[in-house]
Amino acid sequence: MNLTGFDWSIIIAFFILSLGIGLAVARRAGSSSSEFFLSGRNMPWWLLGVSMVATTFSADTPNLVTDIVRQNGVAGNWVWWAFLLTGMLTVFVYAKLWRRSGASTDLEFYEMRYSGKPAAFLRGFRAIYLGVIFNVLIMATVTLAMIKIASILLGLTPVQTVVIGGAITVTYSALGGLRGVIITDFFQFVIAMIGAIGAAVVAVQHPDVGNLSNLLTHENVTGSLSLLPDFSDSEMVISLLIIPLAVQWWSIWYPGAEPGGGGYVAQRMLSAKSEQHAIGATFLFNVAHYALRPWPWIIVALASMIVFPDLQSLKEAFPNVDDSIVGHDLAYPAMLSFLPQGLLGLVVASLIAAYMSTISTHLNWGASYLVNDFYKRFMNPTATESQQVNFGRLSTVGLMILASLFALALSDALGAFQILLQIGAGTGLLFILRWFWWRINAFSEITAMIVSFLIALYFQFGHENLGFTAISSQTQFLTGVGLTTLSWIIATYLTRATAMDKLFSFYKLVQPGGPGWQKVLDQASASGESLEPEGRKWDVPQGIIMMMLGSIGVYSALFATGSILYGETVQGLTLLLLTAACGGGIAKLWQSMSTN
Contact 372, 123 (CB under 8 A): no
Contacts with 515 (C-beta within 8 Å, 6 or more apart), sequence order: none
Q: Is pLDDT at 412 greater than 60 in this prediction?
A: no
Q: Mean pLDDT across the stretch 136-164?
A: 83
pTM, 2 dp: 0.87
Q: What pLDDT is stored for residue 193 in this prediction?
A: 87
Q: What pLDDT is stored for residue 594 in this prediction?
A: 63
Contacts with 52 (C-beta within 8 Å, 6 or more apart), sequence order: 256, 264, 265, 268, 281, 282, 284, 285, 289
Using alpha carbons, select from 266, 233, 248, 268 the residue that is nearest to residue 417.
248
**Ramachandran angles phi, psi of 592, nearest 5°:** -65, -40
- Could you tell me the residue ranges of all domains in the chain? 5-424
Contacts with 158 (C-beta within 8 Å, 6 or more apart), sequence order: 147, 151, 322, 325, 407, 408
Q: What pLDDT is stored for residue 2 in this prediction?
A: 67
Residue 48 pLDDT class (50, 70, 90 cuts): very high
Contact 512, 98 (CB under 8 A): no
Q: What pLDDT is stored for residue 417 in this prediction?
A: 54
Number of other CB atoms surrounding residue 191 within 10 Å:
23
Contact 137, 406 (CB under 8 A): yes
**Span 5-424 CATH architecture:** Up-down Bundle (1.20)
Using alpha carbons, select from 62, 49, 424 the residue that is nearest to residue 248.
424
- Give the SS3 label for residue 327: coil
| Model confidence pLDDT, tens digit, residues 512-546 | 999 999 999 999 999 888 888 766 788 899 999 99
Determine what percent of the chain is predicted with pLDDT higher than 90: 47
Computed over every residue of the chain, the mean pLDDT equals: 87
| Model confidence pLDDT, tens digit, residues 485-497 | 999 999 999 999 9
Q: Is pLDDT at 563 greater than 90 in this prediction?
A: yes
Contact 203, 340 (CB under 8 A): no
Q: Mean pLDDT across the stretch 487-513?
A: 95
One-letter amino acid at 146 equals: M
Residue 508 pLDDT class (50, 70, 90 cuts): very high
Beta bridge pairs of residue 43 = 272
Using alpha carbons, select from 211, 183, 222, 148 the residue that is nearest to residue 28.
183
Beta bridge pairs of residue 220 = none
Residue 1 pLDDT class (50, 70, 90 cuts): low
Q: Mean pLDDT across the stretch 380-407?
A: 91
| Model confidence pLDDT, tens digit, residues 285-311 | 999 999 988 999 999 999 999 999 998
CB pairs under 8 A, 24+ apart, for 380-388?
A: 385/31, 385/32, 385/33, 386/30, 388/33, 388/36
| Model confidence pLDDT, tens digit, residues 23-42 | 888 888 788 888 888 888 88
CA pair distance 74, 383, nearest whole angstrom? 51
- Give the SS3 label for residue 252: strand
Integer Rg of the chain from CA: 24
Q: Is pLDDT at 117 greater than 70 in this prediction?
A: yes
Beta bridge pairs of residue 425 = 252
CA pair distance 239, 495, nearest whole angstrom? 36
One-letter amino acid at 293 equals: R
Contact 214, 220 (CB under 8 A): no
Q: Is pLDDT at 472 greater than 90 in this prediction?
A: no
CA pair distance 165, 159, nearest whole angstrom? 10
CA pair distance 411, 324, nearest whole angstrom? 6
| Model confidence pLDDT, tens digit, residues 413-452 | 555 555 666 677 788 899 999 999 999 999 999 999 889 8
Helical ranges in 228-342 per DSSP H: 234-237, 243, 249-251, 263-270, 275-287, 294-307, 311-317, 331-336
Contact 153, 348 (CB under 8 A): yes
Contact 553, 523 (CB under 8 A): no
